[in-house]
Amino acid sequence: MSIAVAPEVAAALARGGAVVALESTIICHGMPYPKNLQTAVEVEAVVRDGGAIPATIAILDGVPHVGLSSEQLKRMAISGRQFQKTARRDIAHVVASGGNGATTVSATMFFAHKVGIPIFVTGGIGGVHRDGEQTMDISSDLTELGKTPVAVISAGVKSILDIPRTLEYLETQGVTVAAYRTNEFPAFFTEISGCQVPCRVDSPEECAKIIHANKNLDLGSGILIAVPIPTQDAASGNLIESAIQKALKEAEEKRIIGNAITPFMLERVKELTGGSSLEANIALVKNNARLGAEIAVALSNLQKKGKNRMGRSAL
């Protein structure tokens, strides 16, 4: 399969530099134009400010792209939902048909790993849906984390999901789950979920060491590093939870199921909260990007030190 890697991304990877993968579903399906373009550009800028190279991933005219130009980002932002929401299962179809795909977490992880990018920043991952024990509606993000060795930096699991069951499923998949500077798994819009994590990390260097160990041990599974939304940016948890319950009831009444439910829920919750959930979403993505860049730099430094030690040993 031919993957178009942007020159600056390829150059950074070749020299062992810090690179951070970014998804594109948030551009096409997460918010309206021009807010989506503004956010995409700002998130990439945050990554650059942190010393890393951003690599937004998408499928354009049947060709997977790792790293997009400003013109390509604008094309995606304007096209919006004309780009197919693309998870791992959809990749072959979108490529074979010469289509355009906005990659979700699972598809972004797949392409990032293909070209050697070990770190991926997103807002929140998918998970086990509420009533998932009856519907078997479980995001492919979780199985991807079980078989693709990429570290995902997110604000935990989207609050519209069943968080305890999602964490149980990740354990079954053998995924290392760590929370950043907290012992509690964050719930996307809010800092708390009531669920404890098995691993806590307190610095980018600690995160890098876990990612480095995961690679050296060839565990083959991914890592989830959950980062609480900054306190000053957190919308009212009670307000959003009330909106979520109302939106869930509406989705059930309208028989909205499968991968259509998440965009419906996010849009409806945004409406019910007067846009505060969207602003919180943007704030947490930027916060994740800031930390993701720091981890990428720390990992790059760690790997270079290891190579230097090996080189000296050979002498």
| Residue 55 bridge partners (DSSP) | 21
User: If we measure between CA atoms, which residue out of 136, 77, 147, 134 comes closest to residue 106?
Assistant: 147
Residue 125 clears pLDDT 50, i.e. is over it: yes
Give the predicted TM-score (pTM) of the model.
0.92
Q: Which of 44, 144, 158, 286 is catalytic?
A: 158
H or E segment and range at residue 141: helix 140-147
Q: Evaluate if residue 265 carries a pLDDT over 90.
A: no
23 a catalytic residue:
yes
100 and 79 Cβ atoms separated by less than 8 Å: yes
pLDDT at 82 over 60: yes
For the chain, the straight-line distance linking the first and the last C-alpha, in angstroms and rounded, comes to: 39
Instruction: Please give the CATH topology (third level) of the domain spanning 1-117.
Output: Indigoidine synthase fold (3.40.1790)
Q: Do 1-117 and 124-315 share a fold?
A: yes
Q: Which residue out of 23, 44, 191, 294 is catalytically annotated?
A: 23
Sorted by where each begins, the domain ranges of the chain are 1-117, 124-315
Query: For domain 124-315, which CATH number applies: 3.40.1790.10, 3.90.1150.10, 3.40.50.300, 3.40.720.10?
Result: 3.40.1790.10
Q: Is the peptide bond before 230 cis (omega within 30 degrees of 0)?
A: no
Burial of 275 (0-12, 13-18, 19+ CB in 10 A): exposed
Please name which of 60, 283, 100, 56 lies closest in space to residue 188, comparing C-alpha atoms: 283
Condensed to tens digits (0 to 9), the pLDDT of residues 42-73 reads 999 999 999 999 999 999 999 999 999 999 99
Task: Give the model's confidence band at 248: pLDDT under 50 very low, under 70 low, under 90 confident, else very high.
Answer: confident
Length of the chain: 315
